Structure 1
Amino acid sequence: MKTSDFYYDLPKELIAQDPLEDRSSSRLLHLSMEDGSFEHRHFTDILDYLKEGDCLVINDTRVIPARLYGHKEETGALIEILLLKRKENDIWECLVKPGKKARPGAKITFGDGILTGEIIDIVDEGNRLIQFHYDGIFEEILDQLGEMPLPPYITHKLKDKNRYQTVYAKNDGSAAAPTAGLHFTKELMKQVEEKGVKIAHVTLHVGLGTFRPVKVDNVESHHMHSEFYMVEEDQAKLINDTKKNGGRVISVGTTSCRTLESATDENGILHAGSGWTEIFIYPGYKFKMIDGLITNFHLPESTLLMLVSALAGKEHIMAAYEEAVKERYRFFSFGDAMLIL
């Protein structure tokens, strides 16, 4: 299977640069898993597709303002870092730009010295381990100094930090938002529950591996970066009971999907627990838990496009994407949504 099999042509002006005024007013393309047919709707019409007894699974991770700008103490050179993974003792794995100049022993100062960091090790090309020093609470300092780590294809400045958070974001730790959830308002969530649909939550802290381009020609040779996930006991029971009672499990976003598929055994039972997952889902994968997926439109040749192709079939997905381009849907993080069911 070639990476180039997942290429499609996207006009640049269809990449959404700003979130809509009203989260739930985005468009919704429904793709039928039965026959590959599609319908054009609005996101609030999601209620028409959900049935009593279904379970919607959301990812309650919260994006941290993980992008920091500092200066090297020796030279004053500007350094940009992106917090990726929290280790112990205030050590983080970070993406550092420019990476070549970031040698172990180099010290970086942020915000007039209220936060300092020392590079202690090289992980790979642009990644470094940095030991941070500060007084007070790290999260509060981040809120003060950090910026939301928007993907590189968004060039506009975000006016309101909360628009890159879901309304149910709770657990700090992501370097990117689980963007399928950005379409939900609190009112819409309430309407979903009023319909007799259960809402379960899992946590997967989204790392940059999700967005890393596939650099190999052969899909099977691509290696995913690991991301931390958690499934609580009561939530696992809620999801397992849904399946047992004949309801459908519908994942909000590829991150919830990857969490469920990582924590479900071969018999289709979801297990509570936490850990790191490197699951890479591409055509040929047999889904163990999810029956449907709410998702955004993904980058050409990306692992996420491969995941949705595994669920709905590559031909159906590529036809739906062609239709979305023709109908001028908005693409990527702040774009419109797709329901595969």
Structure 2
Amino acid sequence: MTTTGFGFHSLPAELEAHEPPEARGLTRDRVRLLVARRAGNVVSHQRFSDLPALLEPGDVLVVNTSATLPAAVPVAGGTLTVHFSTERPDGSWLVELRRNTGKATEPYPAAAAGEHYPLIGGATLILREPFSAGRLWVADVDTAMPGYLTAFGAPIRYSYVRQRWPLSYYRTVFGTTPGSAEMPSAGRPFTDRLVTRLVCAGVQFAPVLLHTGVASPEAHERPYPERFAVGAHTARVVNQARAAGGRVIAVGTTAVRALETAAGADGVVRPAAGWTELVVTPTLGVRAVDGLLTGFHEPRASHLDLLAAIAGPRLLETAYAEAVRGGYLWHEFGDSNLLLP
């Protein structure tokens, strides 16, 4: 896994979104939208609610229908929290152990294979083996999931979010199937009204499913399998749009991974379901996606490679330099970025 080499090396603290836009007096669809176009390498400043005017009739928005789980569970009687990331094909889970710091959590590096951790609600977590870079563990849990998380978990929250918010703030209008450890946040700014306006403007929606794990792996971390599904209806809509000259715009990196996993070498999307470990890079490129609607990603995140595969490194560098200069907000409650051909 490699990271694009453009000059975005640190995120200024003032660009972190500390609370949902609703707490800042905005509706979801009034966050800022930086539009970057590969043709001419130009950017413009909009609001997310301007989206119907920025897209064209016949464009397809591919959206992820995965809903966020309350995936953070305290260790009973201790100062640790377990972040449940991803259920694996054999029924084990990838988890991250975090130490409570009062307001949020920080990585806990002292765990060891074979350790048992009692969780609230009477469950027990058993660490099998390390998975990647001292962060994720393969673990077993002796209770039925994800029902246990629904009963005892809370949304995953990092230190830049200063207070707890209900699960509803971490779900999108498209989320119908619970399964993601963290919100597929590119879809968060959509509202029912905005979706209606887009449909009336001739924009189509195509659903995919990808249950995403904990925050984007850094460049040194191995990818992990995530459950996905691309149905026959979505395959047909995407293929027909491309044949007619329409643009396929993925809403989030999760939608890209699902759709590209289902795309053949000929660019044709076929129904598919199962587990994907696909890592999209500029070298690999994309076959079915023309554009991307996403949030802003942190330095060293592997997702920057995916963005470069769609937008090209030059446009990506231009967009991120302008986002920093313009004071756009990062993270799941932040602003949005539309990358167009």
| TM-score w.r.t. length of structure 2 | 0.87
1:133 paired to 2:138: no
Distance 1:104 1:302 in 2: 30
Report the Cα distance in structure 2 between the residues aligned to 1:131 and 1:115, rounded to whole angstroms. 11
- Equivalent in the alignment of 2:200: 194
More helix by share: 1
Moved more, 268-277 or 24-33: 268-277
Are 1:165 and 1:177, in contact at CA under 8 Å, matched by a contact in 2? yes
| Equivalent position of 1:5 in the other structure | 5
The answer to whether 1:80 aligns with 2:81 is yes
Counterpart Cα distance in 2 of 1:249 and 1:192: 14
Compute the displacement of 1:32 (Å). 0.7
Aligned-residue offset at 1:140? 4.8
For 2:207 and 2:122, locate their aligned partners in 1 and report how far apart those are by CA, in whole Å: 34
After superposition, what is the alpha-carbon deviation per residue over 1:188-242, rounded to whole angstroms, capped at 9, x for unaligned?
011111112111100011113x522223xxxxxx632222211112221122122
- Deviation by residue 1:25-52 (Cα, 9 ceiling, x = unmatched): 0011111111111111111111112122
Task: Determine the structure 1 residue equivalent to 2:151.
Answer: 144
Closer, same or farther: CA 41–89 of 1 in aligned 2, 3 Å = closer
Matching residue of 2:289: 290
Residues 198 and 224 of structure 1, relative CA distance in 2, 3 Å threshold: same
Amino acid at match of 1:17: H
Which residues in structure 2 correspond to 1:86-101 (within 5 Å)? 86-87=87-88, 91-97=92-98, 98=108, 100-101=110-111
Task: Specify the code of the residue in structure 2 equivalent to 1:176.
Answer: E
Deviations 1:51-88 (A, max 9, x none): 222211100111100110023xxxx5443211122357
AA partner of residue 266 (structure 2): N
8 Å contact kept, 2:4–2:308: no
Structure-2 change in CA distance of 1:109 and 1:161 (3 Å): closer
CA distance in 2, matches of 1:272, 1:157: 41
Change (3 A) 1:87 1:297: closer
* Residue among 206, 209, 216 paired with 1:211: 216
Alpha-carbon contact 1:120-1:128 (below 8 Å) kept: yes
With 62-71 and 116-125 compared, the bigger mean Cα shift is at 116-125
How far did 1:314 drift?
Answer: 1.1
* Partner of residue 63, structure 1: 68
One-letter code aligned to 1:52: P
Report the Cα distance in structure 2 between the residues aligned to 1:132 and 1:171, rounded to whole angstroms.
23
Tell me how large the CA RMSD over aligned residues is: 2.3
One-letter amino acid of the structure 2 residue matched with residue 299 of structure 1: E
Q: Deviations over 1:125-164 (max 9, x none)?
A: 4413122237xxx5454233211113x3533123232111
Pair 88,115 (structure 1): closer, same or farther in 2 beyond 3 Å: farther
Asked whether the equivalents of residues 201 and 235 of structure 1 are also in contact (C-alpha less than 8 Å), the reply is: yes
Contact between 1:61 and 1:203, CA under 8 Å: does it hold in 2? yes
| Separation (CA, whole Å) in 1 of partners of 2:230 and 2:172 | 18
Q: Hey, what does 1:160 align to over in structure 2?
A: 166
CA distance in 2, matches of 1:324, 1:236: 34
Q: Which runs of 5+ in 2 are unaligned?
A: 99-107
Structure 1 pair 225–244 and aligned structure 2 pair: CA distance change class (3 A): same
What is the SS of the residue equivalent to 1:201? strand
The secondary structure found in structure 2 opposite 1:96 is strand
* Conserved? CA contact 1:6–1:302, under 8 Å: no
Instruction: Give ranges in structure 1 of 5+ residues lacking alignment.
Output: 216-221
Question: Using the alignment, how far apart are the partners of 1:302 and 1:38 within structure 2?
Answer: 22
User: 1:259/1:15 Cα in 2 relative to 1: closer, same or farther (>3 Å)?
Assistant: same
Equivalent residue for 1:36? 41
Q: Give the secondary structure class of the aligned counterpart of 1:183.
A: coil
- Map 1:303-314 → 2, pairs under 5 A: 303-314=302-313
SS of 2:173's equivalent?
coil
In the aligned structure 1, how far is the partner of 2:328 from the partner of 2:303? 18
How many residues are matched? Answer: 323
Task: Judge conservation of contact 2:2–2:302 (CA < 8 Å) in 1.
Answer: no
Using the TM superposition, name which of 222-231 and 198-207 deviates more: 222-231
The separation in 2 between residues aligned to 1:250 and 1:265, in whole angstroms, is 18
Judged with a 3 Å threshold, the aligned counterparts in structure 2 of structure 1 residues 65 and 266 are, in CA distance, closer, same or farther, namely: same
Q: Does the C-alpha gap of structure 1 residues 199 and 144 become closer, same or farther in structure 2, counting only changes over 3 Å? A: same
Determine the C-alpha separation between the residues in 1 that align with 2:2 and 2:275.
27
Change (3 A) 1:133 1:205: closer
Q: Verify the 8 A CA contact 2:4 2:305 in the aligned structure 1.
A: no
Instruction: Determine the C-alpha separation between the residues in 1 that align with 2:19 and 2:338.
Output: 21
Percent identity between matched residues is: 30
Q: Which has the larger radius of gyration?
A: 1
Aligned to 1:109: 119
TM-score normalized by structure 1? Answer: 0.87
Contact 2:28 2:188 in 1 (8 A): yes
